[in-house]
Amino acid sequence: MFANLTPTVRTLLIANLAVFAAQTFFGGPLFAPLELWPLNGHLLYGIPPFEPWQLVSYGFLHSGFLHLFFNMFALYMFGPDVEQVLGTARFRIFYLVCLVGAAVAQLVVGATIQPSFQSTIGASGAIFGILLCYGMSFPRRTLMLIFPPIPMPAWLFVTFYGALELFYGVSGRDPGVAHFAHLGGMAAGYALIVYWRTRGPRRRRN
């Protein structure tokens, strides 16, 4: 089952599982400085300040087993194909850009549109970027929704989830989830794909 995993996907799965095990063993408060805290969070007593490393570190923390499971399952399902399409080096860059893009989107929204002093954790922003790239790379592949179990082409699957995230983010009906971070990961991923495409095919130097 794991024989077809690509190098970066395998490393990310191991890293996320290891960090979650450490969270479970040592307790969540120890990892609070690694969570993504709002830019103005330090104005409240007991709220850790924002630090630059949180733009990446937050993506390796998860709030519970189901949070970890769904993110890692999506990485396992879509990550290998995307890594094969982009190549290992570009996939690593892509994952990092989506992760940081999601964090920046969450920080901006939390400081302007929907003020919040809560932290953000999870790899979902990068996962949504991978999902977008998968839909763009394999638009006609059939994927299945979980609820309800309806088959649809990948491009429609990605569009549906993007629209759903936008709806929940704007309506505020699901405040416990960083929907704008998901959208930020998709937007950052799309921008990077467009940038790579405008540069044309990569050429080897001799």
- Give how many domains the chain has, as a whole number: 1
Task: Specify if 128 maps to a domain.
Answer: yes
Task: Specify if 63 maps to a domain.
Answer: yes
Structural domain boundaries, residue 123 = 7-198
Write down the pLDDT at residue 34.
Answer: 95
| Cα–Cα dist 49/117, whole Å | 10
Tens place of pLDDT for every residue, the chain, 206 residues?
566 899 999 999 999 999 999 999 997 788 999 999 988 766 666 788 899 999 999 999 999 999 999 999 999 999 999 999 999 999 999 999 999 999 999 999 988 877 777 899 999 999 999 999 999 999 999 987 776 688 899 999 999 889 989 988 888 777 778 899 999 999 999 999 999 999 865 544 43
Residues in contact with 69: Cβ distance below 8 Å, sequence separation at least 6, in sequence order = none
Task: Specify if 30 maps to a domain.
Answer: yes
| Cα–Cα dist 169/178, whole Å | 8
Q: For the domain that residue 87 is a member of, what is the CATH number?
A: 1.20.1540.10
Angle in degrees, 0-180, between the axes of helices 179-198 and 88-111, rounded to the nearest 10:
140
- Single pTM value for the model: 0.91
